[in-house]
């Protein structure tokens, strides 16, 4: 599994975002493209299978499954539930809870990603402490850097439920690819098809490029 993931990651990084997006559009009709996001390390592309943390607008009386208030479950509790059997190389996806312009976590909370050897974090909200996040080994993509704590606006509510990010549905187990150009969400069952199609697109594009350079194509 780990070797398979390494191979998929190498293939995804080799073709890049636009070709994966084209390949997804040829394979599925639904919206799967993420817009360009911010990162403390924009040169680090992110690829891997997804676990999710769903944020919701903060509400002090919302009960969790066990009856205790959701607001009393810390970031660490929901994170632990999200990653409990996630292999190294997993991507943590954080939904916005409707507030993409507030902080959802920072360097301290996300240092857990380092400990769990995650490939990185895709947050549909802002994050604090870009300098701390840049010093860690994983890739981080989000809606920009925040300085203010966001806990009065949003709270982590559930782990490994289907979430919405930038108008795209992300199911735990999907694969995401994000680089400085944007991102794409690929269903696990379509990953091999999409990678192969993207490789065909890159080869075809290289062929057109050569023909244009040699004057064989207008």
Ligand X SMILES: O=C([O-])CC(=O)C(=O)O
Q: How many residues bind Mg ion (CB under 5 A)?
A: 5
Question: What residue has token string 């996806």?
Answer: 93
What are the start-end ranges of the E strands in the chain?
Answer: 33-34, 46-57, 91-94, 103-105, 120-123, 126-127, 139-141, 154-159, 163-165, 168-170, 175-179, 182-186
DSSP state of 36: P
For helices 191-214 and 17-27, give the axis angle rounded to 10 degrees: 120
Report d(CA 80, CA 47) in Å as an integer.
21
Of 119-138, binders to ligand X (CB under 6 A) are: 128-129
Report d(CA 188, CA 172) in Å as an integer.
10
Q: Which listed range, 18-26, 85-93, 99-107, 154-162, lies at the site for ligand X (CB under 6 A)?
A: 99-107
Q: Does 106 bind ligand X (CB under 6 A)?
A: yes
Nearer to Mg ion, 149 or 208 (CB): 149
Q: Which partner from the list ligand X, Mg ion, none does 149 bind, CB cut-off 5 to 8 Å by kind?
A: ligand X
Q: Does 212 bind ligand X (CB under 6 A)?
A: no
Report d(CA 140, CA 74) in Å as an integer.
21
Q: Does 44 bind ligand X (CB under 6 A)?
A: no
Q: Does 100 bind Mg ion (CB under 5 A)?
A: no
Q: Does 107 bind ligand X (CB under 6 A)?
A: yes
Q: Which listed range, 39-47, 63-71, 104-112, 113-121, lies at the site for ligand X (CB under 6 A)?
A: 104-112
The minimum distance between CB 131 and Mg ion, in angstroms, equals 10
The minimum distance between CB 8 and ligand X, in angstroms, equals 30
Residues that bind Mg ion (CB under 5 A): 106-108, 128-129
């Amino acid at each position: 599994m780990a070797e398979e993931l390494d191979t998929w990651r190498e293939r995804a990084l080799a073709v890049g975002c636009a070709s994966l997006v084209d390949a997804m559009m040829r394979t599925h009709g639904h919206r799967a493209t993420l817009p360009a996001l911010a990162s403390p390390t924009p040169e680090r592309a992110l690829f891997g299978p997804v676990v999710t943390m769903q944020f919701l607008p903060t509400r002090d009386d919302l009960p969790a499954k066990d009856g205790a208030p959701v607001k009393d479950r810390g970031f660490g509790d929901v994170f632990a539930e999200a990653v409990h059997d996630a292999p190294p190389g997993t991507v943590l996806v954080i939904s916005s809870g409707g507030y993409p312009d507030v902080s959802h976590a920072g360097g301290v909370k996300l240092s857990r990603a380092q400990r769990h050897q995650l490939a990185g974090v895709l947050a549909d909200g802002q994050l604090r402490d870009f300098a701390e996040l840049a010093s860690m080994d994983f890739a981080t993509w989000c809606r920009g850097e925040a300085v203010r704590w966001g806990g009065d606006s949003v709270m982590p509510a559930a782990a490994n439920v289907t979430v919405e990010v930038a108008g795209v549905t992300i199911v735990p187990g999907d694969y995401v690819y994000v680089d400085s150009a944007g991102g794409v969400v690929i269903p696990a069952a379509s990953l091999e098809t999409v990678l192969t199609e993207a490789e065909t697109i890159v080869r075809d594009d290289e062929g057109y490029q050569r023909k244009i350079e040699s004057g064989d194509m207008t």
